[in-house]
Chains A and B, each alone.
Chain A
Amino acid sequence: MLTIAKLIIIAAFLTGAFLASLDEDAVNWTYFIPVIFGGIIGITLLKVGEKAAAQDDSLLAADKEMLEVSLQNILKNLRDLDGRKEKIPTYEMRFEIDKIFRTDLNNFADSRESMKHLFGLMAYADIMSSFAAGERYLNRVWSASTDGYVDEVLAYVSKSHSQFEHALEEWQRYESKG
């Protein structure tokens, strides 16, 4: 159904664009409106199909696992890093970050849309707010490490850690709500 819906929309768009290109000023609405109406039917079919697909149990379960695993990995690595941060030379910290966090950060970001269907929009906003802040703090550690600001590196490893802990708390809060 999704493919048919998309084909209907594309056909409606191309036909509508053609009708809109026939004259420099005017549009023949007698033909144009039914074409747009066809497109709206396509959109309706698409949204119904997409909702069903996005709420597909196997996809949601796979994405949920990916989100949980990535978040847990990030936290595990951050706890570890926070514990041994004093021992890592300031200028080396950026390489640690690139090495141990980038994959999980990307995996979480790639699966994030499923959170809307799992927990709702407000949960998505709250979890993503914490996640984005935590990621930004890690980026700041990277920059401070490059510039050799040791206090900033140490402080922001901890801040990023607590931010991701907060993301996990939000995740668990919404998960418990079902």
Chain B
Amino acid sequence: MSELTKLNEGAPGPITTGAYPELTPYAIGVGYFLGVIIAIAIGYASLKLGFSIEGSELAAILGFGILRGILRRRSIVENNVTQTVASAVNGASSGLMFSVPAIFILGYGQELNPMIVTFGAIAGAFLGIAFIIPLRKQMIDFERLTYPGGVAVASILKSPGAGIEKAKLLMGALLFSGVLHFLSIQFDIHDLHVGDWLGVSEENAYLNLMFYASLMTVGVGFIAGRGGVAFIIGGFVCYFFLAPMLDLTGNLPVDAAGAVITDANALRVGLFRPTGIGMLIGGAIIGVLFALPLIKSAVKSMQNSAKVESAMSRDEMPIKLLYFAIVGAAILLMVMAWTSAENVGIGRGIAMGLLGTLWIWMAGIILSEAIGRTNWSPLSGMTLVAVTILIMLTNGMETSQAIVAAVTVGAATCVAMSQATDLMLDMKTGYLVGATPRQQQMGQFFGAWLGPIVIIILIYVLHQAFGLGSDELPAPQGQALASMVSGITGGDVPMEKYAAGALLGGLLSAMMTGLGITVGLGFYLPFNIVLTYSVGTLLREITDRKMGTHWSDNKGIPIAAGLIVGEALVGVGNAVYKIATAM
């Protein structure tokens, strides 16, 4: 970089000539450094506490601090690539911590080959990234989905230039949200029990008037705006229509003792969530069918641009690379399935690899659409479906081998899905700050291989030290998958509910693009989240109408971004504190 820096009279900073730093050794180095730290912290937290966090916001803030504060670098797009690399490394933590611990908890850890899981996860990660290349064009350039998390990160990255007032709003909201979340942790306030305050009786407990005490969720709802309304509708249909209707018609389920179940969470797990998972799938299938001409046009448009070597085409990774990546990674997935357990066989390995590849594509679309419209990712539900389908393919094999093979390939698909959503969020941020998609995609490839290695080592070390599934490391997500796998191998799969949900989701997505997925997400997630989210959406609607969209864009969104980041930072800080004091 031929750089000539001078101070312009009256300018708020130095004027620099030469190239604008983007995918630089600094970006990659800091991205690796942060990615490894975040992946270990969040990976450990998910084993300890049962939650995982999308790393982009944290990586953007920390990268901002290191690049601008310590290294004195000044490039928003370089910061964006750092965040992309770091969150790509972290992508493996949510992908693997949900799936692999299940094998240890089920007692088949000895039969697991860590090398195969690691290489499979890397193959899956590359496959997930490759699939996103044309989807970026369709979902970000054409459909212009909101991606509230991506918008929030863009607000942070742009804050040095957004003006003092916007920066003050962002920082003020960040502090407010952070302090409130700190207090809620100190006083152990997770929800606001509005139903109890209003005296809602136990028989009507299904109304579930309980607000998740989270300003982050309000901020996400605000940024999503009308895009998130369908998600809210899904929740309200479950608890304000279906549950009362079941009550009125005497169809509420009963427990073993014969008592009527009115607990909202029990109804969600037993009745609504399986339908919601089906809706996500059916909504996606119809959505893909409807969007297929547009996806084809997107690919053709990329091919046309590449032929004339336009500036635009140089911004994208070559479409041929996408084909090579898909074929190569699919073959790796097949080999991995074949070698994951003794009796898999070549034919079954090919079938599992092909199915895994197809599922990654389908789930990538579901998750990208869901996170693009609402910021919530139904990753666990998609992994469950993947494992269910893969276990069906192992029909006739010994149970332990069937589970190891299915969960091993399932882990790779889970990492792929996690990479896909992470990249989509980062690319939305990139669009808003003017980053080059090719540089971001390369940054994601640079980061994606490292995460699985770090996380698999972490899993084995922690299993040796404490034992996964023990009191010390309960691994709640792994336990959930393990119990589901036990249910599947025992023939306990609500296939009819999935099928009915798929038809309902398909119906909605045929009515309006993405509707089946977002309404299905409302069926899938707890209602307390939906209620708090609806506060944010309502606030956006009010401010848009009363103060105009200009106010929302210039003041509302920085405030909402601050609410998201403040809570996320305190949440991660709390996880690190708990981990440190528990060790």
In angstroms, Cα B7 to Cα A89, docked, is 12
Beta-carbon contact of A143 and B158 below 8 Å: yes
Most B-side CB within 10 Å, residue of A46, A124, A138, A140 = A140
Residue B184 is within 8 A (CB to CB) of chain A in the complex:
no
Residue B305 is within 8 A (CB to CB) of chain A in the complex:
yes
Beta-carbon contact of B12 and A163 below 8 Å: no
Beta-carbon contact of A21 and B301 below 8 Å: no
Residue B499 is within 8 A (CB to CB) of chain A in the complex:
yes
In angstroms, Cα B11 to Cα A132, docked, is 30
List the B side residues contacting A13 at CB < 8 Å: 504, 507-508
List the B side residues contacting A22 at CB < 8 Å: 246, 251
The stretch of B37-45, B96-104, B105-113, B292-300 in contact with A is B292-300
In angstroms, Cα B510 to Cα A151, docked, is 48
Interface size on B, residues (CB 8 A): 66
Beta-carbon contact of B431 and A166 below 8 Å: no
List the B side residues contacting A9 at CB < 8 Å: 507-508, 511
In angstroms, Cα B11 to Cα A177, docked, is 49
Nearest-CB residue, chain B, relative to A43? B510
List the A side residues contacting B77 at CB < 8 Å: 140, 143
Nearest-CB residue, chain A, relative to B505? A13
List the A side residues contacting B8 at CB < 8 Å: 89-91
Task: Report the minimum CB–CB distance from B14 to chain A (whole Å).
Answer: 6
Residue A136 is within 8 A (CB to CB) of chain B in the complex:
yes
List the B side residues contacting A150 at CB < 8 Å: 15-17
Residue A27 is within 8 A (CB to CB) of chain B in the complex:
yes
Residue A100 is within 8 A (CB to CB) of chain B in the complex:
no
Residue B324 is within 8 A (CB to CB) of chain A in the complex:
no
Task: Report the minimum CB–CB distance from A28 to chain B (whole Å).
Answer: 9
In angstroms, Cα B13 to Cα A16, docked, is 62
In angstroms, Cα B434 to Cα A156, docked, is 10
Residue B161 is within 8 A (CB to CB) of chain A in the complex:
yes
User: With A13-B508, A129-B141, A163-B311 in contact, is A144–B270 under 8 Å at CB?
Assistant: no
> B residues 201-239 with Cβ under 8 Å of A?
237
List the A side residues contacting B16 at CB < 8 Å: 147-150
Beta-carbon contact of B503 and A16 below 8 Å: yes
Residue A17 is within 8 A (CB to CB) of chain B in the complex:
yes
The stretch of A32-40, A56-64, A76-84 in contact with B is A32-40
Task: Report the minimum CB–CB distance from B572 to chain A (whole Å).
Answer: 26
> A residues 74-116 with Cβ under 8 Å of B?
89-91, 94, 109
In angstroms, Cα B433 to Cα A138, docked, is 9
Beta-carbon contact of B301 and A20 below 8 Å: no
List the A side residues contacting B432 at CB < 8 Å: 139
Nearest-CB residue, chain B, relative to A160? B434
Task: Report the minimum CB–CB distance from A175 to chain B (whole Å).
Answer: 18
Residue A12 is within 8 A (CB to CB) of chain B in the complex:
yes
In angstroms, Cα B301 to Cα A130, docked, is 10
Task: Report the minimum CB–CB distance from A150 to chain B (whole Å).
Answer: 5
List the A side residues contacting B511 at CB < 8 Å: 6, 9, 42-43, 46
Beta-carbon contact of B304 and A126 below 8 Å: yes
In angstroms, Cα B16 to Cα A102, docked, is 26
List the B side residues contacting A16 at CB < 8 Å: 500, 503-504, 507
Residue B364 is within 8 A (CB to CB) of chain A in the complex:
no
Residue B165 is within 8 A (CB to CB) of chain A in the complex:
no
Beta-carbon contact of B433 and A139 below 8 Å: yes
Most B-side CB within 10 Å, residue of A47, A109, A148 = A148
> B residues 6-27 with Cβ under 8 Å of A?
8, 10-20
In angstroms, Cα B249 to Cα A53, docked, is 40
Beta-carbon contact of A132 and B141 below 8 Å: yes
In angstroms, Cα B10 to Cα A148, docked, is 13
Nearest-CB residue, chain B, relative to A9? B511
User: With A6-B511, A137-B434 in contact, is A90–B275 under 8 Å at CB?
Assistant: no
Beta-carbon contact of B161 and A146 below 8 Å: yes
Nearest-CB residue, chain A, relative to B297? A125
Task: Report the minimum CB–CB distance from B548 to chain A (whole Å).
Answer: 12
Beta-carbon contact of A129 and B312 below 8 Å: yes
Residue A121 is within 8 A (CB to CB) of chain B in the complex:
yes
Beta-carbon contact of A147 and B20 below 8 Å: yes
> B residues 118-171 with Cβ under 8 Å of A?
137, 140-142, 144, 157-158, 160-161
List the A side residues contacting B293 at CB < 8 Å: 121
Residue B576 is within 8 A (CB to CB) of chain A in the complex:
no
List the B side residues contacting A152 at CB < 8 Å: 19-20
Residue B64 is within 8 A (CB to CB) of chain A in the complex:
no
In angstroms, Cα B308 to Cα A162, docked, is 15
List the B side residues contacting A21 at CB < 8 Å: 242, 246, 251, 271-272, 275
Task: Report the minimum CB–CB distance from A46 to chain B (whole Å).
Answer: 6
Beta-carbon contact of A129 and B433 below 8 Å: no
Residue B75 is within 8 A (CB to CB) of chain A in the complex:
yes
Residue A70 is within 8 A (CB to CB) of chain B in the complex:
no
Could you list some 27 contacts between A and B, CB below 8 A? A6-B511, A9-B507, A12-B507, A14-B241, A17-B275, A18-B245, A20-B504, A22-B246, A22-B251, A25-B496, A40-B507, A89-B8, A90-B15, A91-B13, A94-B161, A122-B301, A124-B297, A128-B141, A129-B137, A132-B140, A142-B434, A144-B434, A146-B158, A147-B13, A147-B20, A147-B160, A148-B16
* Additional pairs, 20, CB under 8 Å, beyond known A16-B504, A122-B300, A132-B142: A9-B508, A13-B504, A13-B508, A16-B503, A36-B504, A90-B8, A125-B142, A129-B137, A132-B137, A133-B141, A137-B434, A139-B431, A140-B433, A142-B158, A146-B158, A146-B161, A147-B20, A147-B160, A150-B15, A166-B310
Ranked 5 nearest A-B pairs via Cβ:
A140-B434, A146-B161, A125-B297, A139-B434, A132-B141
